[in-house]
Amino acid sequence: MGATIIISTYPDRKSVLKIANVVVKKQLAACVNFTKINSIYTWQGKMEKTEEFLALFKTTSKARSSLKVEIKKLHPYKVPEIAEIKINSVNKPYLNWLVQSTRWNKPQN
């Protein structure tokens, strides 16, 4: 089983905390790191400069699809960023913890 990081941005701390708590509780992600960032982008023809929160959802290759569905369902943006980074190399103890922290480490009923 491999490791995957899903990236998404959020408008405020409250919204990123909400999704982080939900996905970790549901064992869709083992961990969510987030930090405040500055973003420059175009939206509906206008140049925008905003503060956002970048979230890194750490999960397994087996859990990634369900995690993406949950992120999309709970995301406050009309067009959310949901980007996947597949990890080619990760230290074994961390990968073991990642697998044990998601619900896909157990036999499915």
Instruction: Return the domain boundaries, the chain.
Output: 3-105
| pTM for the whole structure | 0.89
Strands (E), the chain: 3-10, 31-43, 46-60, 83-86
Would you identify the CATH topology of the domain 3-105?
A: Alpha-Beta Plaits (3.30.70)
Give the distance, in angstroms, between the CA of residue 19 and the centroid of all CA atoms in the same chain: 9
Beta bridge partners of 48: 41
pLDDT tens for the chain, residues 1 to 109: 789 999 999 999 999 999 999 999 999 999 999 999 999 999 999 999 999 999 999 999 999 999 999 999 999 999 999 999 988 888 888 888 888 998 765 544 3
Per the CB < 8 A criterion, the answer to whether 8 and 55 are in contact is yes
Cβ-based neighbours of 63, under 8 Å, separated by 6 or more = 4, 27, 28, 29, 102, 103, 104
